[in-house]
Structure 1
């Protein structure tokens, strides 16, 4: 090369360096001048492209609310636009809206005003899930919350006692009640127990309902005004009547999972020192806002009564749980609305009390049958929740602006005048600090007797942390991770707070109505409690239920790696179905530790069957000769078809298969429908489309989540494998002797993976995709079953505003989009030393069959709630389980692309070194090829060592080639 050319290159390099280092980050200066002049207006984020929340809407429309008598529109033929949607039910016409259908109705309002709109409805079919609707008024969503409305079913608790094989009471399955119910349009998240005021124009108004999940029948529509509650009457309580209601014996509930439970506590009734008896309403099930439980009781003599309760509220430290108390379906007076049940770690007697007058509240009850219901409410902290969410969004947006300013890494040796680039930042930090302080002071009024509210400690921590940052803004650049990165960041503390304050667990031992305080039961004395503890201790030394040492050696021994709730349902199905049809007696035991299965086999203590072990574990046991090769059973090939073929890869050892999949994970695209619709972006089908969306998302203060960002240390195969496989790559050749990581297709996959972060600026560390998906800073990303369960059940405020789609893939030469993803979860195995291999195989065939998996999943979810969605690996059974229908279809289609990286000698090093290479390239800026080559050398070295250990190599020479079980659809 000539000296002249060298000089030119050197000059160009210097000029580029000057351009780069003249400003903190060239990316921010690529923005238009108008963007720079906006300062921190990006704090608005997604809020500017969505409808306003109801809290904003009502400020404008509450002025004129309807004050007339209720208007009941009970003839659907008069207001249904499409009469083909009418059906006859109970000899009366009703509007039927099936899933994914919509119906337009026309209702006439007597005047322009805000109305409460109620429906007389019935949910159709046996679906466990509540019916979901969205509602438009005159073609628009007046406010955001109308995108998701919930209409629950009513569940009846059977009046029977069920026991397991050990004589312990177990939770009975509730029955869905088919009846007409009345409900006014209200917040699906139940942050407010008040129905919505919705403005209607005088004359005809078009209401559009669309069913998202389930089918619904609507018989009547009601336009109403609110009835203001008055105070309680000044009645005199006389007499000696005492009516007790056991908390565990509820009559109805609006969620099938609200249930009784058992405690060994002598103060609770009934009580047994040796057996589990249901003796209180479980606070782990009665905890969500809107949860309602109802009891029937009878009054023999009309008169005034006091209402008392024995309860425990040990969830919200130093802060009450609020409950709406209703008699015969109505809240009788304002003191029964949002009644506070104070924090108490032990079961405590209380009488419904008026703190202003410091008197117990009397209520008049006529002789006869009545109902009392308890509904959990968030009315008093609704505004606090919304403010915390707003602060979280704004702080995350500021964090994004700082990252744009400095880049992802922190240079502690550079000083940047932050105020110059983000005008007003100092004032903004101080404002946020003041707002947090005001929030904390606002909630202290509900318990002024304590210095600090334990339930809001996360808010206190966040405020102090923010105050520290606001005092020295110049250090904000080096401390920017304290805003929204990591588990100790301000937004992480605010996210924790949101989770804590919507958990309202309330345990109920008894409710009672009484007239004479002498009749109220007292707690047991100290000596009785001590004697009860001694008795309980002595009973605990006996045989333990579902323990591995409490079995009949003649029975089939099955160890299950799941909680007791699952085992009780399994045992019930076995006793009702498997044993009567096969004659095989089964003892189910709680697995003490799945990692000790290898040791159990070596000591001769292994079971016949193990259920629910981690999908990677069978290889570790089988390679040591301790598991039965299932391919030796004649009908294995038929049973194998029940599952996605790729799920058999981890259990393949040489030419055998040593486990059946039990459950499966799935990785799909999560996206906010409201955000993509507002931006005019279709759901991305390929990774290239995702990349093309990033500039638009990032301009709005948003981004895309890729799974490696949610893994703080090791990046597992589930996050690194998909793009490699989608590019046609593999990890091994025909045998596993050398890794194929440094071959062309695999290298291209790794390059595309790392460039998502080094070039396209996806966030490389995300403490909580769940939280940022909710607040729209990450409105789209790839995640799995656990995220799905969390969003579905712990984010009711965004229900029906999000959806899932197939994982964005890479188009191959034939024009097909490859969407390979992981799916391994849990597996079932038979041990080689079992003397009952045929019986064990019969059990696994029965347990994995379609009918049994559907029955188990239905029983589990009905009894314990929507969070217990059963992710069976049996594809046909999965189709029959109560998942959201549209989501189920996406998941089933994605399973066609499910596979796993093979578990072979040394594969743990493959996973570790791919992760190390990723971290070196993305976080440390290492040379791409150098990192891959180094990883390949380390993988090969460890593979050779493990092949020698297991006898496939000796002194570097191959004795027996170890075949590669990697699976593709080619």
Structure 2
């Protein structure tokens, strides 16, 4: 009987806890946008009985009722008569309106994307001070880019990619969903009466002229448009085919949508068996919803035309991609909102149309503009439903976690059906949703493909857990966590829509489409010529050797092939034309540089070196001192002073920083909010947070290596070495105190020492942790289901005697250095100066993101270039705050022994409970430093 009472008491307590921690209803206000708001889908369902609004309200931007932050009124700006308003990177602008009739309305914006950092412009929309749904937090306003010039050729006859330049102009757009999960413009319900419309700056500045609130007209179907053609007596045009090469675009939304080279077909236009030809556009760079490219062409005869394109879609096996077609700035009919391009291994030719027929377009004589925009089409609803399920399943996972912990006891009776009936009901509901989505995808694609396997797998697992919760939930808890993570990756993969285009043909309706690929004989001739020329020509044309006089500058780098490809292209189209310096770039494996230098066959410049390398090479007289090179002081000012510390010794400098990173505090806003907690500002607040997190079977992440010790040491103004860098400070009080603080977190507070922070943070198992700020890249790219639910902030600080917070943190990075014996030191220095410049680093970062996605954001050491990365104002401010406290760690002979032995001491303290184990390693560490200093004749 007592056991039954105890069990019931435990169950009651658990239920009370779950009521407290279960996510509350979403809401939004000016001061609280922490938790995920209701989705736009839920908002539409909530207002399903509301009719379309009939009012048409035009608001002049300068008639605002309230404004905060940077604001400036402009007269007759860029040809627009009247007054416009420049809104900055932060702040808010609001207008009061009087709505004469209740209904659902769209919001249209006339804006000018003023020059900024080159990132997309982002705003958050509020109605009467509240953000109505989650998607309204992320409104994207596109920029406008152009090729600065036509494609030119180098001295070898290879095409040179044109530079991209911003070409801002006034644009009119209806507000859309950033992720593309909704094909129609966003709608807002407005009751009759007075309202306040607010635009809050999230990213970049923009000039606003007019905000229009109305209900956009529904587009006609193609059949209706076609019937209108017939009623007006429109006939097929009697004209020649107009061919537009896709690489010769008019405008584009991103500066990474530039011409690319394709050698997979003999008839790609233009093509050459031995020369590099920029003959297409798109591919992996043109895949995200909202990206667009436009073209202009001139028609001489009025009439009906069809528009055909030669394209390649060989990325998404068994799937299709979609493009929205706009003619002269407007979508001509419903079906043009999502034209499908199916998968194929080779090039294909098709006219814009559906499976039944090609579309006819009536064109008047004169110039016309054709634009293609990435859209999800039918896949939008699929991704929307999976995204919603993923968010709910993450909440279910956290509910189970709070009961079982990270490692459930398989032999324990948890009583899940009594403790979490809502979670079990949610599992049943979303298993059915995922089954339905899988079936819908199969119907859309026309076959069962690999993209449906994961949906069925997760659905099956949920069904098994619902069928017998007590037997299966604990047993399948770990696979469930893995599958939830895989579902987030699935959303990203399916949501990408890559397409490569060779050309467009505007032709009479009845004209036969051109062939998609070359004949057998053309292929054979092309391949034979290419093979013959391969003995004499580098098809990739990546080295600039031979284009200018003299021996080339040899540069080595140890990174990925994608990075090397980008750098080679940048050298070819920027550095060499501007400097007239040949560059021979080589991608080498790690460990290649040192033996090559010792053998006297090393390069002039080495890129991507670890922070410890320059000083180690300098001690062996293998790297040049650059302190006396021209403009060193000006170039060094590009970086935070801490970035230079590891590369300086005895008043000399041996490298320039390429990248720099440091730890920051990541936290889940939604979880802390639901628990009534806030992100800690000080270590006292941090320690008060620990029991609250751990009571819910959650964990906190903290660096178990030397980084953790350095955080506590540097925040007390301590150093790792003495002023002469001849001894470590491991025996000093400040270092011992820092070591004890770090080890206590793992011994007394039971923090985990080994963990995958990104995965645990994603699932909510570890809602707060300290990790390198580059973890941001991984989370923003691979955890879409928690977008807007997390943040990174400066580390908790130590309160100093003057009351100020010291948030000091160790920093690390990579470097570029000039090797000893470089034949052309001036050329090598000029290359190092070019590579570390803000313009070069900014472009490299954007190119990396274009090819590899958001996970490839560059942690550049150039402070101006980092500001040009696509950070929000809040993210950038937090980053700059922490960067101001970055502390460089000097490199010393034998320094590797310090890192190694601190690790040994930490392991001993953890395993043996000895908080003073660090003292056992002091003598050994200092002896090694002394031995190395004597070896290199430093004492």
TM-score by length of 1: 0.81
Does residue 322 (structure 1) correspond to residue 322 (structure 2)? The answer is: yes
Secondary structure in 2 matching 1:496? helix
- Assess if the C-alpha contact under 8 Å between 1:738 and 1:940 holds in 2: no
Q: CA deviation at 1:796?
A: 8.3
Q: Secondary structure at the match of 2:378?
A: helix
Between the aligned partners of 1:889 and 1:237, the Cα distance in structure 2 is 59
1:459 aligns with 2:455: yes
SS in 1 for 2:444: coil
**Separation of aligned partners in 1, 2:399 and 2:152:** 59
Matches within 5 A, 1:167-178: 167-178=157-168
Describe the superposition over 1:130-151 as per-residue Cα deviations: whole angstroms up to 9, x where unpaired. 2222222122222222223222
Q: Please give the alpha-carbon distance, in whole angstroms, between the structure 2 residues aligned to 1:772 and 1:590.
A: 38
Matched residue SS, 1:445: helix
Aligned pairs (5 A) from 1:593-672: 593-631=589-627, 640=636, 642-652=638-648, 657-670=653-666
Secondary structure of the residue aligned to 2:809 is coil
In 2, are the aligned partners of 1:242 and 1:519 still within 8 Å (CA)? no
Partner of 1:566: 567
Distance 1:424 1:221 in 2: 43
1:267 aligns with 2:267: yes
Aligned residue number for residue 155 of structure 1: 145
Match of 1:477 in 2: 474
> 1 CA distance for matches of 2:593 and 2:414?
57
Matched residues in 2 for 1:666 and 1:167: separation? 45
Distance 1:717 1:172 in 2: 47
Report the Cα distance in structure 2 between the residues aligned to 1:717 and 1:533, rounded to whole angstroms. Answer: 56
- RMSD, matched Cα: 4.3
Please state if 1:447 is matched with 2:445. Answer: yes
Tell me if structure 2 keeps the 8 A contact 1:643–1:875: yes
C-alpha distance in 1 between matches for 2:544 and 2:922: 39
Identify which range, 780-789 or 92-101, moves more after superposition. 780-789
Paired position in structure 2 for 1:36:
15
Deviations 1:469-526 (A, max 9, x none): 5666435435532232xxxx11221122122122111111222233344352341123
1:371 alignment counterpart = 369
Compute the displacement of 1:56 (Å).
Answer: 1.0
Matched, 1:289 2:289: yes
Structure 1 residues 688 and 820, CA, compared in 2 at 3 Å: closer, same or farther? same
Q: Which residue of 2 aligns with 1:14?
A: none
> Aligned match of 2:714 in 717, 725, 736?
725
Does 2:352 align with 1:352? yes
Is 2:270 aligned against 1:253? no
CA contact (8 A) 2:714 2:887 kept: no
* Of 511, 515, 529, the match for 1:535: 529
Secondary structure at 2:347 match in 1: strand
> How far apart, in 2, do the equivalents of 1:262 and 1:170 lie?
11
C-alpha contact (below 8 Å) 1:353/1:361 kept by paired residues? yes
Residue aligning to 1:3: none
Counterpart of 2:683 in structure 1 is 687
Corresponding position of 2:101: 111
Q: CA deviation at 1:325?
A: 1.5
Q: Using the alignment, how far apart are the partners of 1:703 and 1:910 within structure 2?
A: 33
Aligned with 1:498 (options 491, 496, 511): 491
CA deviation vs aligned residue, 1:596-640 (integer Å, no higher than 9, x gap): 111221232212222333333334433443222345769767765
Matches within 5 A, 1:203-242: 203-232=193-222, 233=226, 241-242=240-241
Q: Give 1:510-521 correspondences, 5 Å limit.
A: 510-515=503-508, 516-521=510-515
8 A Cα contact 1:128 1:862, kept in partner: no
CA distance in 2, matches of 1:385, 1:743: 57
Q: Give the superposition deviation at 1:32.
A: 10
In the TM superposition, 1:706-725 aligns within 5 A as 706=701, 708=703, 717-718=706-707, 721-725=710-714
In structure 1, what is the equivalent of residue 911 of structure 2? 926
Residue of structure 2 aligned with 1:63, choices 37, 43, 49: 49
User: Following the alignment from structure 2 to structure 1, what is the Cα–Cα distance between the partners of residues 502 and 420?
Assistant: 56
- Relative distance call for 1:67 and 1:120 in structure 2 (3 A) is same
Structure 1 CA distance, aligned partners of 2:810 and 2:276?
A: 41
2:31 alignment partner in structure 1: none
- Give a deviation string over 1:4-27, Cα, whole Å, max 9, x none: xxxxxxxxxxxxxx99xx999xxx
SS at match of 1:567: helix
1:967 maps to: none
Instruction: State the partner residue of 2:815.
Output: 827
TM-score, length of structure 2 as denominator length: 0.84
Could you say what secondary structure the match of 2:458 adopts?
helix
| 1:581-600 to 2 correspondences below 5 Å | 585-600=581-596
Question: Does 1:97 pair with 2:95?
Answer: no
1:362 and 2:367 equivalent? no
Q: 2: distance between equivalents of 1:777 and 1:409?
A: 11
Q: Give the superposition deviation at 1:252.
A: 1.3
Judged with a 3 Å threshold, the aligned counterparts in structure 2 of structure 1 residues 843 and 936 are, in CA distance, closer, same or farther, namely farther
Q: Is the 8 A contact 2:111 2:209 kept in 1?
A: yes
Query: What secondary structure is seen at the aligned counterpart in 2 of 1:57?
Result: helix
Shift of the 947–350 alpha-carbon distance from structure 1 to 2, 3 Å rule, reads farther
Aligned with 1:806 (options 794, 798, 812): 794
Question: Unpaired runs of 5+ in structure 2?
Answer: 28-34
Matched positions, count: 902
Q: How has the CA–CA distance of structure 1 residues 577 and 937 changed in structure 2, closer, same or farther, with 3 Å as cutoff?
A: farther
Say if 1:65 and 1:225, in contact at 8 Å, map to a contact too: no
Change (3 A) 1:105 1:32: farther
> Does the aligned pair in 1 maintain the 2:488–2:784 contact within 8 Å?
no
Per-residue deviation, residues 162-184 of structure 1 (Å, max 9, x unmatched): 44565432432333233221112
Q: Is the 8 A contact 1:80 1:95 kept in 2?
A: no
Report if the CA contact (8 A) 2:339-2:354 is conserved. no
Q: Distance in 1 between matches of 2:327 and 2:363?
A: 9
Q: Secondary structure at 2:884's aligned position in 1?
A: helix
Q: Secondary structure at the match of 1:595?
A: coil
SS at match of 2:387: helix
List gaps (5 residues or longer) in structure 1.
1-17, 580-584, 709-714, 954-958, 963-970
Residue 120 of structure 1: how far off its partner (Å): 1.4
The CA distance in 2 between the partners of 1:212 and 1:424, in whole Å, is 36
CA deviations over 1:744-787 (Å, ceiling 9, x no partner): 544543444455566667676664638956x8776655444533
Separation (CA, whole Å) in 2 of partners of 1:513 and 1:284: 26
Q: Distance in 2 between matches of 1:140 and 1:455?
A: 38
CA-to-aligned-CA distance 1:912-950 (integer Å, 9 cap, x gap):
5655766787xxx733327x73x87679768867976x6
Counterpart Cα distance in 1 of 2:528 and 2:644: 51
Distance 1:771 1:160 in 2: 49
* Candidates 879, 897, 910, aligned match of 2:885: 897
Identify the range of structure 1 (676-685 vs 291-300) with the bigger mean alpha-carbon deviation. Answer: 676-685
Question: In 1, distance between residues paired with 2:742 and 2:818?
Answer: 38
